[in-house]
Amino acid sequence: MRVVIAPDCFGGTLTAAQAADAIATGWRRGAPDHELILRPLADGGPGFVDVLHTAIGGVLHRTTVTGPLGAPVEAKWLMHAGVAYIETAEAAGLHLVPRERRAELCERATTRGVGELIAAARDLGAHEIAVGLGGSATTDGGSGALAALGLVALDKDDKPVEPGSLVDCVRLDGHADVGRATLIAAADVENPLLGPHGAAATFGPQKGADPAAVDRLERGLTVWADVLSARSERDKRDTPGAGAAGGLGYALLTLGAESVSGANLVSGATQLAGVIGQSRLVVTGEGSFDWQSLRGKLVTSVSGVAAAHGVPCLALAGQVAVGRKQAAAAGIEAAYSVSDHVGSVRRSMADPAGTLTELAEHVAKQWR
């Protein structure tokens, strides 16, 4: 029996490749007669570049850019056949902000480094630039990225506006130069820019924002959307994916980027459909299988491919917060929680690879 193992990363504990290896190790113990095909994946968030590099090859570049807090960071990006693949988390990732300082710094984080990576790809002659949106520390609406490309937000005194002061933005100066490249916004979520499901309200708390900070970020993004939309005559604030990466999706869409599912982009590059079509079972997974998983995340992208080929799909996750009916509606035959299996979140986090291996062995025995 051929089994495809195609997980995403497990939120800050395991890369997609590490998760795939852990699941495969456990599965071999539970079902040693199964043939396993490992396809670690990404949906635009952390691992986007590494997964694509493994799947399609190309040249990895390392560029020193402005990190989320202004200090320089080295970020890798991929060039393949004239297409550049950029990972937002490499330049503006939440992992680059110390956990104990996130509440203090959540309103200062900038996407400037992402714009610098886009400029680097432009200068190397990329005809298409795909930006993976996910895992960011930012809620600056992409203002930092646009500033790096030449479009600067100014206040009433014609001074550049900082990320946490977007509410003071009154006009824009310059223009965003991407050369002849077309832009692709590869989002891992479908959220709009503003409102109860927008960038600040939904993802701000994950980045350290308390209710007061969320309110300030929302007001700033609203002003930013008004000013940028008036300048571009293209209002994309309600477009699915505009709220990705703290509103960077909105900025790219305003520049004319095509919005695509990051999960579908990676699945296509890794030829996942062909592999699944020749298999009997698919095992995917992520750190937390919750309501966000049902809105454009990788797990449901994989289950959709499996359903199209009539192949059952299982989900293994650190935690599961989706009911059986919701999971079934998304094409997941069954979802299994590591923390439930080993008895606590604390134990599962203490040994992420080992406990995921334990769960995979247990599940494999049920599906032999």
Kindly report, residue by residue over 46-86, the tens digit of the pLDDT: 999 999 999 999 999 999 999 999 999 999 999 999 999 99
DSSP symbols for 36-58? EEE----SSSTTHHHHHHHHH--
CA distance 335 to 324: 8
What's residue 255's pLDDT?
A: 96
Can you tell me the mean pLDDT for 123-132?
Answer: 98
CA distance 274 to 170: 51
What's residue 189's pLDDT?
A: 87
What's residue 11's pLDDT?
A: 80
pLDDT above 70 as % of the chain:
100
Candidate from 9-18, 30-39, 149-158, 311-320 with smallest mean pLDDT:
9-18
Q: 291 pLDDT band (50/70/90 cuts)?
A: confident
CB-hemisphere CA count at 13 Å for 108? Answer: 12
pLDDT tens sequence across 227-270: 999 998 889 999 999 999 999 999 999 999 999 999 999 999 88
CA distance 276 to 329: 19
CA 205, 208, 211, 217 torsion-angle sign: negative
Can you tell me the mean pLDDT for 354-358?
Answer: 97
What's residue 12's pLDDT?
A: 77
pLDDT tens sequence across 82-105: 999 999 999 999 999 999 999 999
Alpha helices in the chain (DSSP H): 16-30, 48-56, 88-92, 102-105, 112-123, 143-149, 211-232, 248-254, 262-269, 272-277, 298-308, 324-329, 338-342, 345-350, 352-366
Whether residue 296 is predicted with pLDDT greater than 70 in this model: the reply is no
CA distance 163 to 145: 11
pTM above 0.85?
A: yes
What's residue 233's pLDDT?
A: 86
Torsion of CA 126, 131, 136, 139, to 10 degrees: 100
